[in-house]
C-alpha cells in the first residue's frame, strides 16, 4: 500500500501545481477584461493627465482595452491613492502618484490613510520633471557661485509652487545645502511663481520647465541651474546645480504608476511590460520632453527602491526645515 499511497500523493501534488500554473497562465491571457481606470491625484489638465494622454494610443492597442482617467485630487494626493488602495487588486484600477503622495506625505502628515510599502504594488516610474532655478535679469550674477555669494549678504526672496510640493522641498534643500538666508514665498503653482520672478516681486524661484522655459529662451529670466542629476536636452547650456557649485544637489518631481497590494504578479509584469514599452517609444519620448518631462521606465523593483530612497531623503529635509502641510 505504501508505494500506491506515495504515487497518489505525488499525482495529486502534480495535478495541483498544474492547476495553479494553468490559472496563472489564464489570468495573464485574460487580462485586461475591461477598461483600466487610472486614478490621477491631480486636477484635470496637468502633467499627469498629459502622460496618460501621450501613452494611451499605444497602450489601448496593446492591452485591447481603453485607459479611463479619474481625477481624484486633494490632501497632497492622499485622496486619490487611498481610492487605489481600496480597489480590487486585479489590475483594472491603477494610480498615478507623485513624489508627494508616495514618498513625502508620510513625513508631512501626522496620520496617513495608507502605508505605501504595504498597501501598494509599484509598477513603474513614468516620468521625471526637473525644475530650474531662475532669477530676474537685473540680478548681478552670471552663475550660481556669484548668485550664492550675493544671496548670503542680501535680503532676497525665492518663490516656489506651494507648501509641501516638490518645488517647495527643492527650495528647502537648496537653502539648507547652500546655507543662504532666503525668504521662501509659496505660490499656488509654478506659473504664478515664475510670473512674480519676471516682474521682480521675488528675486528667485524654483519652477518647473514648462513655466520657465519660454521666458528663459526669451531672455526674460536668468537660469542658474537645473535641479536634475544631468543637464536637460531642452536647456543644454544650463548646468546642473551640482556641477555649478552645489555638489551633490539633486531634486526632481516625478510620477509613478502603482496598483493595489495583492495584484497578481503576472498582471503587474504585463502592465510593466506595456507601460515601459510605451515610454521607450521614440515618438512618445519626443512628445514628453517637449512638455518638460523625462520618460523614466523602470522595473517594479527599481521603482520600489526609488520610493524608499526618496522617502528617507525628504524626511530629513522636512524635519530640518520644519515644513508643514497646507
Q: What is the mean pLDDT of residues 126-148?
A: 95
* pLDDT of 164 strictly over 80: no
Residue-level pLDDT at 21? 44
pLDDT of residue 140: 92
Is the pLDDT at 15 greater than 50, yes or no? Answer: no
Compute the distance between CA of residue 313 and CA of residue 311 in angstroms, rounded to an integer.
Answer: 6
Q: Cα separation of 266 and 26, whole Å?
A: 10
Q: Is 60's pLDDT higher than 50?
A: yes
Instruction: Answer for the pair 245, 265: CB distance below 8 angstroms, yes or no.
Output: no
- Please give the Cα distance from 70 to 67 (Å, whole number): 10
pLDDT grade for 26, boundaries at 50, 70 and 90 = very low
Residue range 279-290: average pLDDT?
A: 92
Regarding predicted confidence, which is higher, 46 or 205?
Answer: 205
More confident of the two residues 46 and 254: 254
State the Cα–Cα distance between residues 317 and 107, nearest whole angstrom.
10
**Alpha helices (H) along the chain:** 2-30, 47-63, 78-85, 99, 105-108, 116-119, 144-152, 166-178, 190-199, 209-217, 265-279, 282-290, 300-321
Give per-residue pLDDT as tens, 255-274: 999 999 999 999 999 999 99
Per-chain mean pLDDT for the chain? 89
Write out pLDDT tens, residues 93-110. 999 998 989 999 999 899
Stretch 71-76: mean pLDDT:
87
**Residue found under cell 490559472:** 23
Q: Give the whole-angstrom CA distance, residue 46 versus residue 56.
A: 16
Residue 281: its pLDDT value, please? Answer: 96
Domain ranges of the chain: 36-128+253-321, 130-226
Tell me the three cell numbers of residue 265.
504578479
Q: Are 175 and 182 in contact (CB under 8 A)?
A: yes
The radius of gyration of the chain from alpha carbons, rounded to an integer in Å, stands at 23
Third-level CATH fold of 130-226: D-Maltodextrin-Binding Protein; domain 2 (3.40.190)
Q: Which residues contact 284 (CB under 8 A, 6 or more apart)?
A: 54, 55, 58, 278, 295
CATH architecture of 36-128+253-321: 3-Layer(aba) Sandwich (3.40)
DSSP notation for 33-46: SSPEEEEESS-TTS
Quote the pLDDT of residue 13: 53
Question: CB-based contacts of 99: which residues, under 8 Å, 6+ apart?
Answer: 166, 169, 253, 254, 310, 314
Measure the CA–CA gap between 2 and 6, rounded to whole angstroms: 6
pLDDT in tens, 168-177: 899 999 999 9
Express each pLDDT in 190-249 by its tens digit: 888 999 999 999 999 999 888 888 899 999 999 999 999 999 888 999 999 999 999 999
End-to-end CA distance of the chain: 73
At 7 the pLDDT is 46
Scanning the structure block, which residue is given the C-alpha cell 542658474? 224
Q: Specify the range with the lowest mean pLDDT, choosing from 25-29, 86-90, 281-285, 292-296.
A: 25-29
Residues whose CB falls within 8 Å of the CB of residue 67, separated by 6 or more in sequence, listed in order: 35, 36, 38, 52, 55, 56, 59, 60
Asked whether 209 and 227 are in contact (CB, 8 A), the reply is no
Q: What is the DSSP string of 255-289?
A: EEEEEETT--HHHHHHHHHHHHHHHT-HHHHHHHH
How would residue 57 be classed by pLDDT, with cut points 50, 70 and 90?
A: very high
pLDDT at 326: 63
Give the confidence band of 6 by pLDDT, cuts at 50, 70, 90.
Answer: low
What pLDDT is stored for residue 85 in this prediction?
A: 98
pLDDT > 70 fraction of the chain, expressed in percent and rounded: 91
The pLDDT tens digits for 298-318 are 999 999 999 999 999 999 989
pLDDT value of residue 323: 82
How far apart CA 221 and CA 139 sit, in angstroms, is 10
pLDDT at residue 4, as a whole number: 47
36-128+253-321 and 130-226, same CATH topology: yes
By the 10 Å C-beta count (0-12 exposed, 13-18 middle, 19+ buried), 277 is classed as middle
Amino acid at each position: 500500500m505504501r508505494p500506491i499511497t506515495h504515487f497518489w500523493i505525488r499525482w495529486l501534488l502534480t495535478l495541483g501545481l498544474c492547476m495553479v500554473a494553468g490559472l496563472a497562465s489564464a489570468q495573464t491571457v485574460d487580462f485586461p477584461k475591461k477598461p483600466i481606470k487610472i486614478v490621477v491625484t491631480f486636477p484635470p489638465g496637468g502633467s499627469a493627465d498629459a502622460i496618460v494622454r501621450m501613452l494611451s494610443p499605444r497602450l489601448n492597442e496593446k492591452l485591447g482595452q481603453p485607459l479611463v482617467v479619474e481625477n481624484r485630487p486633494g490632501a497632497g494626493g492622499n485622496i486619490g491613492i487611498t481610492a487605489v488602495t481600496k480597489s480590487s487588486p486585479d489590475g483594472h484600477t491603477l494610480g498615478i502618484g507623485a513624489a508627494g503622495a508616495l514618498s513625502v506625505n508620510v513625513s508631512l502628515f501626522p496620520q496617513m490613510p495608507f502605508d505605501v510599502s504595504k498597501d501598494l504594488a509599484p509598477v513603474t516610474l513614468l516620468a521625471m520633471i526637473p525644475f530650474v532655478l531662475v532669477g530676474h535679469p537685473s540680478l548681478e550674477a552670471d552663475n550660481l557661485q556669484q548668485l550664492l555669494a550675493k544671496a548670503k549678504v542680501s535680503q532676497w526672496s525665492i518663490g516656489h509652487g506651494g507648501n509641501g510640493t516638490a518645488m517647495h522641498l527643492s527650495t528647502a534643500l537648496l537653502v539648507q545645502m547652500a546655507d543662504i538666508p532666503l525668504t521662501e514665498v509659496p505660490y499656488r503653482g509654478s506659473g504664478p511663481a515664475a510670473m512674480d520672478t519676471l516682474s521682480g516681486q521675488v528675486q528667485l524661484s524654483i519652477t518647473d520647465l514648462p513655466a520657465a522655459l519660454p521666458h528663459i529662451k526669451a531672455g526674460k529670466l536668468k537660469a542658474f541651474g537645473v535641479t536634475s542629476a544631468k543637464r536637460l536636452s531642452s536647456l543644454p547650456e544650463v548646468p546642473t546645480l551640482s556641477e555649478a557649485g552645489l555638489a551633490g544637489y539633486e531634486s526632481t518631481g516625478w510620477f509613478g504608476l502603482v496598483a493595489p497590494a495583492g495584484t497578481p504578479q503576472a498582471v503587474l509584469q504585463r502592465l510593466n511590460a506595456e507601460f515601459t514599452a510605451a515610454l521607450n517609444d521614440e515618438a512618445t519620448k519626443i512628445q514628453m520632453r517637449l512638455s518638460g518631462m523625462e520618460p523614466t521606465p523602470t522595473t517594479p523593483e527599481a521603482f520600489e527602491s526609488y520610493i524608499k530612497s526618496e522617502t528617507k531623503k525628504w524626511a530629513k529635509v522636512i524635519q530640518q526645515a520644519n515644513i508643514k502641510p497646507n
